A and B are shown apart, each in its own frame.
Chain A
């Protein structure tokens, strides 16, 4: 019974809408443009917002550094990263077992002179790592050549990738690819040149870098004595030697060994290959906390640590950058919301105007309907439903227009856009609400007409 009445009211509204296609089109135009603008803004906006987030993420906002814990010797602490507890196997396990981690790479540092022909240079960083390092840093696009492979890592091949600064300083414009240069007196073949990344947030030149397989840096550069071509990283032949040397053959240990007591407190396999740190990247900014939890749990299990106090590693994230990222995203969202609201209000006022004109234009019809028995609330309902139907129809067309518009923007301007289901659902709801809110006044006005005067209206 109820359904039947609703159907009848709806049909009356549809009939009235169909009766004047021009007016209907004009009424809907307001909402079509309003909703279309909202959808297009949301799609273009969320695309841009994502692009900004990606750009900031490229700066390393999602990067997590896993550092070995602090060693103490005779009551003297040596600061973060001074004990040797992280292994390349830890890194492999992180990649394997932590779903929130996008990629991870071990890092072995060295420092020293590089020489090519008659030129020399001391790079800011000489890193031994795997190819995944570039994934972590979001730096996979090389200017020339290619990245070294996992096979190079296994075989400790003497290959390296160099940053733009080194290419400029040592090779002076000629292509470095395939050239041999000496890093701490070991000869390396240059296989690739990184793209330029500029300075980091602390103002350090990130292009002043040499990347090589970590096994090569660890076993060939770090301790030139172990020059045998032992391959696999799981080899236990390497003792816990110092990872880098300023001068060849000088056995200066940069990192203090854990004290006896400490070693007793944290019993571990005595011999293993350590790395200086593990760099990882979380899937997204939002997943950083999960990534930290997963890595912590994994490393505790692998290092057999029960008590969190005894952690022999610590994890650092880029809080400052993450905050910048999330505040940028929030700001973008608020901006979009404001723009969307304004355009919907403009659309709603348009609807109200045309509905008011329509009420005036249809005064006689309203008078007639009242004369044949329509109550004031019947008239109110009829006009309200007309407004809602118009707004919903306009809303649906607006969605098509908005999606089409943002597609065209992507197609012609190459702007990033992103289809947002939430925006579509929201605009359907909002356009119906706009119909109710802005349709109510004209409908109320229609229902207040005096039938006698309405019938006489010319």
Chain B
């Protein structure tokens, strides 16, 4: 069984009298340990798909199996629980809490878990993760004192704090220059290959997609091409 299985997912937004179908029947499966790029022009529905995959939204119809569990119709609180335990997010604009140290930013998601880790355990985990993304000397820096690349690495560490099954990165390099983009992507690649973390990158940039194993193209709410591919071709 795959990690993620989508069966005929549709999403329609209702704007007054007009129905706007955004996803028109997406069927997709992503296995454990894959590094996938979700590609498409703006308005193609890739963000909507990511929101559904990330349990931020629920589909209008269709089935979503995450780790052998059908979750397309669970309650908002249950979705919050899944986001907390199974999913990590990295955003284009980093979304770090201002005036809060890197360490505390990384620890933040743990304040919503139901398990009760002691303060020292929480801190130890956060320090470990910051080490892994190469920021062990920046633990107590506030986001404003960090470069864009460093901020994004803090965000990656935060996304990994709960050992998620899958890591979503929404345009992770959109706000970075090409050199730091490369660094962040290398880091994601390393996490994927060394720690077998499933990563789904949403992007419109072919240079980003090049680093992934598989590209899924979305156009007008449908998957155009979802083959596994090694290397760089589109």
Question: Quick one: closest A residue to B99, CB to CB?
Answer: A19
A20 within 8 A of B: yes
Q: Please encode chain B, from 36 to 52, with 1 for each CB lying within 8 Å of some chain A CB and 0 for all others.
A: 00000000000000010
Is A374 an interface residue, CB under 8 A from the partner? yes
The verdict on A373 contacting chain B, using a C-beta distance below 8 Å, is: yes
The verdict on A371 contacting B112 (CB below 8 Å), with A19-B97, A364-B95, A452-B51 known, is no
- Complex Cα spacing A283 to B30, Å: 88
B99 touches A375 (CB 8 A): no
The answer to whether A371 and B98 touch across the interface, beta carbons within 8 angstroms, is: no
| Chain B contacts for A8, CB-based, 8 A | 111
Check if B85 sits within 8 Å of A451, measured CB to CB: no
Chain A CB within 8 A of B191 CB? no
**Interface pair B77/A372, CB less than 8 Å apart:** no
- Decide yes or no: A12 and B111 within 8 Å by CB, A4-B116, A365-B97, A452-B51 being known contacts: yes
A376 to B80, CA, bound (A): 9
Interface size on B, residues (CB 8 A): 27
Contact among B57, B76, B97 with A375 in the assembled complex (CB-CB below 8 Å)? B76
Whether A375 contacts B112 by the Cβ 8 Å rule is yes
- Total A-B pairs, Cβ < 8 A: 66
Contacts of A369 in B (CB 8 A): 108, 112
Counting CB contacts under 8 A, is A378 at the interface?
A: yes
- Complex Cα gap A257–B124 (Å): 102
A15 at the interface (CB under 8 A from B): yes
A393 within 8 A of B: no
Q: Within residues 3 to 39 of chain A, which ones have a CB less than 8 A from any CB in chain B?
A: 4-5, 8-9, 12, 15, 18-20
| 8 Å CB contact of B85 from A19, A373, A376 | A373
The residues of B with any CB-CB pair to A shorter than 8 Å are 51, 54, 56-57, 76-77, 80-81, 83-85, 89, 91, 95, 97-100, 104, 108-109, 111-113, 116, 158, 162
Measuring CB to CB, which residues of chain A are less than 8 angstroms from any residue of chain B? 1, 4-5, 8-9, 12, 15, 18-20, 364-365, 367-378, 451-452, 455
26 of the cross-chain contacts (CB-CB < 8 Å) are A4-B116, A15-B100, A15-B104, A18-B99, A19-B98, A19-B99, A369-B108, A369-B112, A370-B83, A371-B54, A371-B83, A373-B85, A373-B113, A374-B80, A374-B84, A375-B76, A375-B77, A375-B80, A375-B81, A375-B112, A376-B76, A376-B80, A377-B77, A378-B80, A452-B51, A455-B95
Task: Return the 8 tightest CB-CB contacts between A and B, nearest first.
Answer: A373-B84, A372-B109, A375-B80, A19-B99, A373-B112, A368-B95, A373-B83, A375-B77
